Structure 1
Amino acid sequence: MLRQMCKGKIHSAAVTETKLYYEGSVTIDSALLEAVDIIPGEKVEVLNLHNGSRIETYVMEG
């Protein structure tokens, strides 16, 4: 059996830029990625605190 575990969490991060017609990766600052031990290309979940929606995507360093 393969279990998926949460190894890091970035809580209440502010969105600084969006592209209305692009649904794909999320770009995160390299210092923050290092602090939570997430690498570029890693699968992550993103939760919208305002409406409860959740997406699964991958990380790009930015």
Structure 2
Amino acid sequence: MQITVLKSKIHRVTITDCNVNYNGSCAIDSIFLDKAGIHEYEQIHVYNIINGNRFITYALCASKGSGIISLNGAAARLGEVGDLVIICSYGEIHESQINEHKPKSVYFKKNDSEEWPFPARFKDRSSVNLLVNP
């Protein structure tokens, strides 16, 4: 039997722009997409930590290193600049693979004095405020 599992997660990232006049999607810094293993045009789920809104859209690549997280089109009405969100993608695997499956997660922190969540789990600290688990 196939089951749906978390494939990738960008955790607690800040919305930098909302553009209701754009056709749709969520534009995300291409570095964040690459680190999380999310592809352009891949379906994503966005969970707004501040207001509780949850919605499905697709990922667009924003400029590398820009830090952009932009809600576009109708999704722009579900968040505000400064809101924290979690961005997830899901995939299908055979249930026999569940014990080997490990989703890829990218975590953010506000500043250098903030502690990383679960620091022992992570290997890649290649960006000052970005932490990726394997």
TM bucket (normalised to shorter chain) is 0.7 to 0.9
The alpha-carbon deviation at position 8 of structure 1 amounts to 0.8
Identity between Structure 1 and Structure 2 (%): 35
For 1:22 and 1:41, the matched residues in 2 are separated by 15
The alpha-carbon deviation at position 50 of structure 1 amounts to 1.3
Structure 2: give runs of 5+ residues left out of the alignment: 63-134
The 5 A counterparts of 1:1-62 are 2-20=2-20, 22=22, 24-62=24-62
Structure 1 length-normalised TM? 0.85
3-state DSSP of counterpart to 2:8:
coil
Runs of 4+ in 1 over 6 A off after TM superposition: none
Higher strand share goes to which structure? 2
For 1:46 and 1:23, the matched residues in 2 are separated by 17
Deviations, residues 6-48 of structure 1 (Å, cap 9, x unaligned): 1111111111111145572000111111100000010000011
CA RMSD, 1 decimal:
1.7
Matched residue type, 1:57: T
Aligned length, in residue pairs? 62
Matched residue type, 2:41: G
Structure-2 change in CA distance of 1:2 and 1:57 (3 Å): farther
- Considering only CA atoms, is the larger Rg found in Structure 1 or Structure 2? 2
After superposing the two structures, state which structure 1 stretch, 47-56 or 16-25, moved more: 16-25
